[in-house]
Structure formats: structure tokens, C-alpha cells
Amino acid sequence: MHPFFRLLRYARPHRARLGIALAAMLAYALATAGLALLVKPIFDHVLPARQQLGLVAGGIIGVYLVKGLGSYFSSYLMTDIGQRVVRDVRDALFGHILGQSAAFFARRTTGQLLSRITNDVNQIQQAVSETIGDFIREGLALVGYAATMFYYDARLALVVMTSAPIIVYPIVQLGQRVRRSTRRSQEQLEELSHITTEAFAGQRIVKAFGAEAHERRRFAGASDRVYRTNMKVTSALSALPPIMELLGGVGIAAALWYGSRQIADGRLTTGEFVGFLSAMFMMYQPARKLSRVNANLQQAIAAGQRIFEMLDTHTEVTERPDARQASPLTRRVEFDGVTFYYDDGDGRHILDGVSFSADVGQMIAIVGLSGAGKTTLVNLVPRFYDVKAGAIRLDGTDIRDVTLASLRAQIAMVTQETVLFDDTIANNIAYGAQHASPGAIEMAARAAHAHEFVSALPDGYQTRIGERGQRLSGGQRQRLAIARALLKDSPILILDEATSSLDAESEQLVQDALANLLRDRTSFVIAHRLSTVRRADAIVVLDQGRVVEIGRHDDLLARPESAYARLYQLQMFESVAPTDDNGTRAGAPAAATTGEAPR
């Protein structure tokens, strides 16, 4: 469907307002025509003979009153409808984008998506609220004037009207140009938004590497491109009124030439002719506005196309129409020949026939070199991505057969990069569980060993922690993330290097917190701490997407040719201080951990 009509569909719920607005526009148009009709009695009766003075004067005031009211209500209501449509489009777009798959977000930047929601939506706002209103109101007014002209002198009116198609050509041509340039301009704004969010989010690295000038140049380049394209739009838009005016002038000159002869021959009164000319002059304003309508609509269509492209993108992980509610885990989680590759990767299998299972309550450690596929594997459980072959089953049920909400309700996750929101500590812990009581929040925080530092803050649980939790240390952030997972209290727990950014002191606290978290839960722990790995009921050793060994710590170490022993010798695992009797760091020293440096 054409983007214009799709936009109009968003106005459908506001039909009633639209109806009132239309009535107001009709009143406006009738009053406008009435004004042109009053010219004749002015010149034929009032001025020569002072007849009908009161009537005409009253008529003028009345007509302006009606015109004013019509104008007020129509523009107020049309803007209101436009803003509502824009709001609804914006909300739909946000919800739609949020529902997209992880692969979708990996392909696009935050800045680009942001730009669709702000710049493109703003671009359609003017069209819907102003342009469509203008189109109807001024179109009606134009019809009113034309009718008046026919009333005064049909032949003359016909002559004038036949020249109208001449103006259509430039309007259509310029409209096309405006649409193309607007599309380009919106793409460039997207780029601008991308550069901005990237530079601001990475401001510390920008500064540390002295790259301010580089970022400024990048921004200035994009900014200049937006400027140039916008000027192209402006030049097309500005060309319209003068073209209209010139053509109008020609029409008036022709009418004057013809009309003066008609008056001389006595076929037309002066009043009629002045009325005719007035109608023509008055036509200029609606005609000028109408000439821009097409160009403005083209702008909205360009932006609308970009919005609808996004709304038509479906990368959501889909739910079967007959998906059931997942019942709470009671037996086991099973990976059965799980194979996976990224659609936009190089085609290499990231996971290849991974099979193992975890009985309820067990802790499974997943180890392997960086890039082995550990994070990818755990991301398949909440269906951030779907397996390409094989299956993951909860108590024998394929996770693709249950609803996403009921599946994800069973899983709590703590990731290496802690994600916190610019909100209070309490709300961050209760994220996704808005109705949690303060008592429950505090209990989770205590178990995560976060209560101590939280209660030392001036506002306690009501302290706002800044974007991405910037006002907290890495260890504090991780403990809040653990508290959040504790509060969720779900049967399956996934920890992806959840303690990677901790110093030795908070490390011990977090280890305790984790022990609380792991109790009675089925957990998958991507571990780089020896203490965690040792405790695991089973260790899954991944190498280039394949399971090479499964077993307990001591058994794996004892095997000949053990891949696990090799990882161990590579000093893959950090040991945590006082887990050993003498209180010194035991085992392999900290080094070569997996994953990236913390932000």
C-alpha cells in the first residue's frame, strides 16, 4: 500500500475529530467565497449610492467571524489529529523495533534506530497536521472562489480555468525532486545521529586517545551533507510560489484586457468585474498554499517510506501460533545436536552438534578459549537466536514450542557487561518485576552483598545511578545485576563471565552472592574462575563450537591428552583468593581471561 494511505489509516481512530474539522473547513470556505460575493454590492450599491451600507458592513463582519472560527477549529483539530497520528506511529515503531531479534540489533546502530523514531516521525508530523489540513481547507476555498468567478462571468472564468493545468507540471516535477532529496536528507540525519551517539557513549575513549578532532571532522562532514541536501529541498520549495505568482499575474492581465472591453460594451458592471478580479486575487493565497501541498506531502512520503520499511522488517524470533505455556522446570535442560551460525557471519558454524544435558539443580560450567562459542550457546536458551539444527529442550519440550514470555520467565541472566538503567537502585533491582516489595528488593540485595554499599549511599535504594550505572564501580554494578537475577527467582540461571570485572575484595563478596544465587537452580556458568569451575557438577569444554570434553574437574585433569588440562595450563582460569586453606591465590595465576576488557 502507498505510504500516504498507510499514514491515513492511522487517522482512522480519530474520525470524529476529523468530521468536526471538515465542517469547520467547509464554513471557512463558504465564508471565503462570501467575501468575494460582497465585492459586487460594494461597488454597485454602497459606493455609488450608499445603499445597503449596514447590510454589507454587517455581512463583512459576519463573514470574517465565520471564517476566523472555521480557521481556528480546523487548524486546531487538524494539528491535534496530526500529533495523535505521529504519537501512534512513534509508539508502534518503538514497540516494533524493541521486538526485533538480536541479529537485527547487531546490524544496526542505536543512533540509526533513534533517528527513525525522532527525525523521520517528525518529518511526517508537519505533513499530517498542517499539509492535509491546508489541502482540504484551501482546496475548498479555491472551489468557493472559482464558483464566485463563474457566478460573475462564466466565459471569463472558463478562460482563466483552462490555464490551470499549466501550473500542475512544475508542481509535480518539483515534488519529485523534493521527495528524493528528503529521503537523502533523512539518511544523512541517520548518519549524524549514529556519529553522535557513538562519540558520546564512547567519550572516555575519544578523550583518552585524543580523537576529538577526528570525531569533530566526522560530525562536521555529515552535518554539512545534511545542510546541502536540505538546501536542495529548500530551493525546490522556494521556486513554487514565484512560479505561481507569475502565472497568476499573466491570468490577471488577460482578464483585465478582456474585462475592460466587456465593461465598455456594457455586458459587465464595474462591480461584477471588480468582484471577479478580487476573487482572482484572493485565489492566490490558497493556490500558493496548495502548490506547496504536493511538495510537503512528498516529504512526508519519503519519511513515511523509511518508517514503513522498518515496520515491515520482521526479524522477530517467532512464536508458534499454537505455542504453549512452559511449565516450571522439574527434570532437565537438554542440548541435542545444537548447531548454529550467524546469518551475517562468514558461514562458519559457530556451534556444531553440541549435546549435553543438565539435571535440575545442577551447575554446568562452560569453558573454552575466547571465541569458542560460549556466549552464543547460552544466548540460544532464552531464544535470542534460534538453533539452525538440533534442539534445546526443557523437560523434553522443545523451547520453540512454548511462548517466549513463559520461556524467558524461567531464565535469569547475568552478563559480563552489566546492563543497568538510569533509574534508582531499587528500580534497577526490580527491573521487570515492577511490583516487588521494598522488603523483597532488600532481601535480594542482601543476598547479592549489595545491601552494604547501597545503604551507605545518601539516598539508599532511591539513589539514581546514572546512565548505564556510571556512578557505581564495576563490582557494585555486578552485584546489582546479581541482585536483579536473585529477585527474579527463576529456575534457570545463566551467568556469562558475571564476575569478570571485579577486584579481589568484591570478588569474594560476589562469589558468596553467586553461591546464594546458584543454590537450588539449574545453572549454566561461563566461568573463568577456578573456584566456580571446581564446584561445577559438570564442565563442558568447548573448542571451535564443538564439545570436546565433559566431566568434573578432577576427572578431566586426570585424563590423558585432556583439552581441559591444556586450558588449565594456559592459565585460562583465575583462582580466587581465600578459597584455599593458606589464604593465598592458588592454582594458575590470573591471566588470559576470556572476553573483552570491561568498559
Nearest Cα neighbor of 139 from 20, 228, 25, 276 is 25
Q: In whole angstroms, give the CA distance from residue 408 to residue 394.
A: 12
Binding partner at 373 among ligand ADP, Mg ion, none, C-beta below 5 to 8 Å by kind: ligand ADP
Question: HEC profile for 169-230?
Answer: HHHHHHHHHHHHHHHHHHHHHHHHHHHHHHHHHCHHHHHHCCCHHHHHHHHHHHHHHHHHHH
Q: How many CB atoms lie within 10 A of CB 435?
A: 6
Cβ contact 310:116 at 8 Å: yes
- Residues in region 397-416 near ligand ADP by CB under 6 A: none
For Mg ion, give the closer residue by CB, 152 or 341.
341
3-state percent helix, strand, coil for the chain, nearest multiple of 5: 65, 10, 25
Nearest to 277 by CA among 67, 60, 28, 39: 39
Q: Does 368 bind ligand ADP (CB under 6 A)?
A: yes
Q: Interface with Mg ion by CB under 5 A: which range of 131-139, 304-312, 368-376, 437-445?
A: 368-376
Q: Report the alpha-carbon distance of residue 180 to residue 478 in Å, rounded.
A: 48
Q: For ligand ADP, which residue of 186, 278, 376, 532 counts as binding (CB under 6 A)?
A: 376
Among 106, 166, 205, 253, binds ligand ADP (CB under 6 A): 106
484: left (phi over 0), alpha (psi -120 to 50) or beta: alpha
**183 vs 528 by CB, closer to Mg ion:** 528
What is the closest distance, in whole angstroms, from the C-beta atom of residue 176 to ligand ADP in the complex? 39
Element (H, E) at 538: strand 538-543
Phi, psi of 127, rounded to the nearest 5 degrees = -60, -50
Longest Cα–Cα distance of the chain, Å, equals 123
Q: Which three cell numbers stand for residue 89?
A: 506511529
Of 58, 345, 432, 466, the one binding ligand ADP (CB under 6 A) is 345
Closest to ligand ADP by CB, 448 vs 567, is 567
Binding-site partner at residue 538 among ligand ADP, Mg ion, none, CB < 5 to 8 Å by type: none
Interacting residue with Mg ion among 119, 299, 375, 478 (CB under 5 A): 375
Q: Is there binding between residue 199 and ligand ADP (CB under 6 A)?
A: no
Helix (H, G, I), strand (E, B), or coil: what is residue 372? coil
x/- map, 65-104, ligand ADP, by CB under 6 A: ----------------------------------------
- C-alpha gyration radius of the chain: 36
Residue 282 or residue 542: which is nearer to ligand ADP going by CB?
Answer: 542
Binding flags for ligand ADP, 556-595, as an x/- string (CB under 6 A): --------------------------------------x-
- Tell whether residue 523 is a contact of ligand ADP (CB under 6 A): no
User: Which residues in 158-177 contact Mg ion (CB under 5 A)?
Assistant: none
**Residue 499 binds Mg ion, judged by CB under 5 A:** no
105 binds, among ligand ADP, Mg ion, none (CB under 5 to 8 A by kind): none
Binding mask 238-257 for Mg ion (x = CB under 5 A): --------------------
Chain residues binding ligand ADP by CB under 6 A are: 106, 342, 344-345, 350, 368, 370-376, 594
Q: List residues near Mg ion by CB under 5 A.
A: 375
